Amino acid sequence: MAPSSKGKVASDHVKAFNVAVTEYKSKACEKALAEIDKILAVLAKISDSSIFSPSNPDAFSLLLNCQYLLSYLDHKANTVWGVVGLLTTLCSQDPAVTKLLRTRLELLPICAKLLHSLPSTTQARTLKLLQLLKLVVDGVIITRREAYLTSLLADLSSFLSDSTPDLSSLSLFILCCLCRGNYISTKLLLSTLPPPTITALFSTPNTTPSDQLISEMLCYFMTRVQLSSHPPSPAKVNSYLPKLMDVFCSSYVADDISLMSLLISFLSSLSTDTEYRSILAQQDCLPSLQQLLVVADFSDEFSLSTSSHLFTFLTTLITTYHTDNVHLFDVVLKVVLARLDAKPFNKVASALVLVKTLVQNMDFSSMSDAVARNLKFQLDQLLPSLLATFLDRRSSTKLSSRSKTDQVSTELDREAMASCLECLQLLQVVASVPLKGWGQAVGETVKANKMVMAYRGYTDILKELVDRARLTTEFFTLAIMLGEVDNTWGKVVVELLGDKDRIQLVAEILRQENMEGSFMKKALTILNKTDSPETMFGVEKEDEAVGGDVEDQAVVPEQLARIDSLMEGVTEALGKMEVEQVVGEVMQLATVRRGQEKQQLAYMMEALGAADARVAAQNTALVEREEQVRALERVVMELVVRLGANKEELGDIRAQHGDLSREADCTRDKLGKELGEARSQLEELQTEKVVLVEKYGRYKDQVVRLTEDLKQYKDNQEQLEVKLKQEMRGREELVVTISKREDRLKKKEKQLDEEMSARERAEKENDDLRKQCASLETLSKRQEQALSKKEKLLQESQEETKEMRRVQDAIFNLSKARGSAAC
């Protein structure tokens, strides 16, 4: 049965497990394994994950013993799978256990060896081991070609085509984690996978959205190994956002920390890639963010790791994609306030980073007054929650009155320390907003006395000097910013600047190696406000050996006083005695020698003290030098390992660059030849253009002449029509008298109509000639013939008109003759 209590009883079971494994190491037998199995069954039912924290020595020994059992026991032993189940549970509960198993205990090679030894028929155990590998492999860094990688990648690749969906999904996830940012493993995987499998990864769709997205991520990591001359497809890049949202929402609901961490890492890789970043920055993610914020739930017993990954994913999204920060701030603030109102209050670093990023990305210079007032109203709701977050710990007076055991229990973990720092940084960002009233609102809402008490309480319980220095620097920076707008904070600044111990903590930032530039800048600003900041970097150490010598030297004058009193007594006794003069001279010589010996003794004592101090300092320097040498050796070893991997990667990149350069040279030569041909064709076309322009000018002149002739013809036609109308009128008057010649006149009218239609056809042909002036060279002769025919027709019509005039004259003469005869 499970232990009834979580404290002492659970720790006893952990110690019992360590004792049982120690007995098994001394004497391996089935009875010891059976005892270990019983204890493992009890440990698996313990719900208090703090018992297995790596900071606990017994828990660390338990993990080390688990590593031993997995290394030396056969896969047929039930103890191995009990250990695998226990480690899977611990890794899912505490990320610190996962990090310890991955980095210090090197569990990945052990699991790879165990996976390779499993037969293909034990799918249940294979699935159990892959579940542990899924947790351990998250965030692994491979800098050299490890021996276990070949078998591990081959085994995982064989599971990709397995009919069991769980095996293929877990294998795909583990391969993706191994290839994430690891050039060696990615290159080895490309050489391990057959070409059909690689083609299937790129082309074959998966059954679930998560497997499909993981497959695309694995393809992305594999394509990063090879230099590509083709830019990414914008449609493909834009399709990542909805897939990321769907898979992250499902993993958030299922509390799948490993998958969420992989998605965040993939999105960060896309944002750092220059080719992808330009495409992602143009895509709007506001609708997707609103969809994701609806899923956020901080009810009872919610997962801290899940909520932290949610806010980290949101921060990565708003820094990668395009969005309206002002509109998004209202929605995000509601979710952040809901998280700040849920316990624990002091593990909200990722939520505060999200709000800080949003405020920093806002453009307050072009913001309207209405929007600024709305943001100010939302800020007033956020500030009390930030104050409560920083004051989640008790005040320093209560902390100092606690016992030693209580102080250990109240020690700040890394997440709580990060939350305190992010809270102070967010208050600094809000106070520095260039809008009226923001800094004053922060100074009034965030009470100075409460903040100072909480700060002192934190510095009392923090053990690491670097943590105290960081917290002090951030608190000093906030106090200086608020002291400019609030009198209470101004008094706090004066008090803090007068405390040399606090200033020394700020100066400690500048002494640390690999410190962030933002902390160093803030520390320099704070030290600039103090008097003689250069004195903060002096070494003030008291040598205990020298102090001991001083105490020893303090005894010498007392001894000398006794010797002097004794010598005076001897001198008086000798004065009463009757001795020779030589004895007095001998005594004087002895006195002189005694003073010289006394001085020499004092000088020798001082020299010995200085020598002791020098030897102690040299021993300290030697110890520090040995530590530096060991650290340097570790750094050199890491650099040598990374150098080998980087040389291999650089060699591959150079080879790929050579191939691409040769391909680019061939393409450049081909394009040069095509450019020369295009230029020659362009010159030919230009000469043809000149000839065509000349022809067009000639044709245009011809069209102008034809147009003028056409106008003349139209004028003649109008005149003829006028005359014809007159003749028609005269003919109508003479219809009664000249009925015999009516038929002839009708025929002539028909001929005139035909002439009109012929003229209309000529006009249409002229219009066509105007439109087709570019192709009239071959038709010019036909037009001349047509014009000659038309001239003949016009001449015939003129002759006919002349004949008509003669007929009219004859008719007129006849009418005159008849009129005169009638008279």
Residues 245 and 214: their CA atoms lie apart, in Å, by: 13
What pLDDT does 173 receive? 92
Q: Per-residue DSSP letters for 284-344? A: B-HHHHHHHHHH----TT--HHHHHHHHHHHHHHHHHSB--HHHHHHHHHHHHHHHHTSSP
> Bridge-partner residues for 284, per DSSP?
322
Q: Where are the beta strands (DSSP E) in 344-498?
A: none
Q: What are phi and psi of 391, to 5 degrees?
A: -95, 20
Name which of 248, 230, 157, 148 is nearest 196 in CA terms.
157
What pLDDT does 83 receive? 92
Residues 248 and 267: their CA atoms lie apart, in Å, by: 12
What is the radius of gyration, based on Cα positions, of the chain? 51
Structure tokens at 55: 């900071």
Q: Is the pTM of this model over 0.75?
A: no
Contacts of 37 (CB under 8 A, 6+ apart): 78, 79, 82
What pLDDT does 66 receive? 92
What pLDDT does 404 receive? 37
Q: What are phi and psi of 322, to 5 degrees?
A: -90, 140
pLDDT, tens only, 76-92: 889 999 999 999 999 88
What pLDDT does 578 receive? 55
End-to-end CA distance of the chain: 160
Burial 196-222 (b: 16+ CB within 10 A, else e): eeeeebeeeebeeebbbbbbbbbbbbb
Q: Are 111 and 133 a contacting pair, CB within 8 Å?
A: yes
Segments in the chain below pLDDT 50: 1-6, 394-410, 539-556, 579
Residue with tokens 């009418």, as numbered in its chain? 815
The identity of residue 317, as a single letter, is L
What pLDDT does 771 receive? 78
